[in-house]
Amino acid sequence: MKIALINENSQAAKNPVILDALKKVVDPMGHQVFNYGMYTAEDACQLTYVQAGILAAVLLNSGAADYVITGCGTGEGAMLACNSFPGVICGHVEDPLDAYTFAQINDGNAIALPFAKGYGWGGDLNLAYIFEKLYAEESGQGYPRERAVPEQRNKRILDEVRKAAYREFTDILKDLDQELVKGALSGEHFKELFFANCKCDKIAAAVKEIIGE
């Protein structure tokens, strides 16, 4: 699995801590982590939580990432931004139980974490425990297991509702403020990471047009 890490500007200084906690958990599982930044609070590319959502949607819809780890001060803004787009089901996760139940019941592909609210002593340990529970088992198996059938049915219903509710992703990209989108795709390592992993020629072409490639 390709896991993308995205930090917005208010919590960019925590990027190395989050990356370290994530990699310690998922590297032994055989997953790959791609760090899209922000890397420090002083980065030239300053992502808002809205732009973190745009970037997450580009990565997930193009196949450049299979899962996105993001967040903001409370996690709420990043979650809302991510869920504004097709192809993204983002859960708000504060603790390991949230992580496990979201993975097993809702079977999403992104989580938004509160990197400021409640983040104190032991914050790095909480992150590690969250990642452990998020990827502990194959996603979407249901919890408790006797609820698996109705929960999986509800997930399929949700997927169909979302198909009807959203437009073509590349059309959405074109209709957004282009400077906003360009800013979301201007991270220091975005181009090298994205184009090496993108599986959708249509989205790749749209991205190249937006960033002036």
- Tens-place pLDDT, residues 57-97: 999 999 999 999 999 999 999 999 999 999 999 999 999 99
> Each residue of 87-125: pLDDT tens digit?
999 999 999 999 999 999 999 999 999 999 999 899 999
pTM flag (> 0.85): yes
| pLDDT given for residue 94 in this prediction | 97
Percent of the chain with pLDDT over 70: 100
**Per-domain boundaries in the chain:** 2-211
Determine the Cα angle at 92 with ends 42 and 56, to 5°: 55
131-160: buried (b, 16+ CB within 10 Å) or exposed (e) per residue? bbbbbeeebeebbeeeeeeebeeebeeeee
Asked whether the predicted pLDDT for residue 213 surpasses 90, the reply is: no
CATH number for the domain whose boundaries are 2-211 = 3.40.1400.10
pLDDT at 199 over 90: yes
